[in-house]
Structure 1
Amino acid sequence: MRAAPRRTVVTESVLACLVLLCSLAPVPLIPPAHPVVVTLLGVWTALLVPARRMYPALTVLGCVPVIAGDNVWAMVVVPCVVWSAMRRVAPLRRAWGVIGASGAGAVLLSIAAQSLSGLPAMRYLVVGAGATALFILLPALSGVMMGRRRPLTRLLRERNAYLEQARLLNDEAARMEERARIAAEMHDLLGHRIGLISVHAGALQLAAERQAPQLAAQAELLHTTAGTAMDELRGILGVLRHRSDKDSGERGTREDLAALVADSRNAGADAELHWNATESMEADARTRQAVHRVTREGLANALKHAPGAPVRVTLHGEGDTVVVSVVNDAPPVPCSPGDGNRSGLVGLQERIGLLGGSLHAGPRPEGGFALCARIPVRPDAPSAYATSPKPLSDGAGSRPPLSTEVLTWPRLLGGGCAALLVLLPTIGGSVALLILALLH
């Protein structure tokens, strides 16, 4: 009892008390010829209920005296005890041995009982053999059938888990193959173009230093921006190819944001950085990367849509959350709306949403634009290339395997129907026995 779970102990205790009550409650109402024997048989039957879990074979053999006794109410409980115990008897050879021994023991004990009581031998033997078949042999056969089904159900559950894992691995392999193809196309299409831009920007910088020194700073910025774009393209390709970005952990720091603000200031923007977080704030690499992307997107939008307007980049910590905002005032000279398609903001929304954060972007009431993101310092969300356990929508991808109930349904139906058919005579015999006892 100490080793068993509390729920099991409570359940078995309640069942044993119910069996004891069922076996002894009719005794005062219908006084038997041998009350002491009837009471002992009721107590013995109640003890067999918890014993069937640890000693199933001995429990079936212990039901033999109840079949040969005079306690009809305890005899009705015997089929349930035998059925539950035989489900736990293994291997099959041992189960058949227990069935044979219990059947033979019940017949022999019936012969001994009739010889002591002086009842007619043939009639008592027929009744005893019928009771043995109905209350021991048939429930034991049904229990063996149900017990043989349990390993099959366990095997099918393991097979279902294996198929589920195989499906996830196949889906992951398909995603990685598609990402590798996209990375190759991006490398071939964009890498070559950006490389040409960088080369021509370098040549333009050299020419501007000799012929137009006033344009040298802009040419240098163009060359530097092209090189930065190439580095970022390599980082994106590394993510698509399932490689970790070694330099991503250095982004999102104070020096990194200061560099972004300095680049915008060199491009003509009135940009400022307000760092209100502690210097020792240890944020996840994905959080730092998201902070970098928000800052860069906000500064780029301010340069494009509000040239000449003051821009303030603010970062502060709120416990386990990092808040970064890029706010610009209205431009000094009204300009026509740009041709942007908000794809950058959509990408930021998806990136920050994967980390469990939120992004707000929109015009300010007093004029200008505000971009604000709240990102967890230690996000629980997986990285962008992690496997998603959810099936793809619209029927895309491989179909998930059928559930365990569907996989085992034919076998469960066959085994359950056969076991029920075997128990039908036992159920009918128990009802008839109870009716005869009440009429008597």
Structure 2
Amino acid sequence: MTSTKPTAAEETASESAPAAALHTGISDPRTLIMRNLRQSGIYVAFVAIIALFAVLTDGVLLSPGNITNIVLQYSYILVLAIGMVIVIIAGHIDLSVGSVVALTGAVSAVLVIQQDYPWWAGMVAAVAVGVAVGAWHGFWVAYVGIPAFIVTLAGMLLFRGLTLQVLDNISLSPFPSEYQKVANGFLNGLIGGQGYDAFTLLIAAIAVGGYAVFGFRTRLARIRYQQPVESFPLFVTKVLLVGAVVMYFAWQLAHARGLPIVLIILAVLVLAYGLVTQRTVFGRQVYAIGGNLSAAMLSGVKVKKVNFWIFVNMGFLAGVAGVIYSSRANGAQPAAGNMFELDAIAAAFIGGAAVAGGVGTVQGAVVGGLIMAVMSNGMQLMGVDQSTQSVVKGLVLLVAVAFDIYNKRRAGATR
């Protein structure tokens, strides 16, 4: 028999085959451009929108005070967007989060303002109510089998009505100063700085470094498993661009009132949920359910259990958003949270989530939310009336979804 043992040259070629196949798969310039555009286009769009409104507002948009206001005014929408993108990745939707924000804030206000409970007890109660609401939704969706659209539409009406009952159709205020600091407080002066807060810059630098390391490790892992990645120059450009934007914003915050406490909360949530969705079994199962439900079930994924916890998590984040919003407003109102669910859904889709599920990232949803925030704030500074603002935001959402569908059709045509 003749030997079939490969030569050294053949072994070398075989070892390099995965990498070669990887690069061959994206060698077509048009395919490469479309893939890179999908992965990094949201960051380019974010910077472009900031630049546009900076010019249109004569630089007011990027003033230290206004950047601080953007963070404070839209933080609760970004918290909701984190939970909403996970729901959408799994192929569901949640229309009730605005009502849940109102209900959790109302419960906290009744306990703290009317019944003189400690401020922290109100926060714990608000989050607990949010978790209970999420479990309610999860039960009907996961174990009864009612579509999430119907369950959460019913929840939107149900929990708005409960909010009116809890508040007895009146507004409650004010909260204690400790409660208000969650959404209105700042950390500054911890390590000094001449005319600026050095602590804010230090935290921002650490965040940028962590983002770069995490992105590089993720890139290496994808290459190792022969998954397509963006070109290395584009990856470096994206990291530098994100780093420059973050440090610029940090510089402006450092020259205003320092680091907002709510920004720290948001950063912790983004980091934690980024790790959960990208590095845990639960995260992979969420993507599997949204990408191909039948395949996920055949692979042994406990679909009912995962769907249940997806909605519990959404309720938890709605409770957190309720605390932040009531802290920011220094009270609870029957109409609180109105249309918040649409802002959160828009943020997820603008950030790259797919309508059919299976696609999306926490970071993308947050950037999508920031795009909406910058657009809203910029148009307010320009004196644009509310009706025109709604038209513009609606068109942006429509274009984002159309872009996703266009990409899917192109991908199907090239197979």
Note whether the superposition's TM-score is higher than 0.5.
Answer: no
Larger radius of gyration between Structure 1 and Structure 2: 1
TM-score (norm 1): 0.22
Q: Of Structure 1 and Structure 2, which has the larger fraction of its residues in helix?
A: 2
Structure ranking higher on relative contact order (CA contacts 8 Å, 6+ apart): 2
Q: Of Structure 1 and Structure 2, which has the larger fraction of its residues in strand?
A: 1
TM-score (norm 2): 0.23
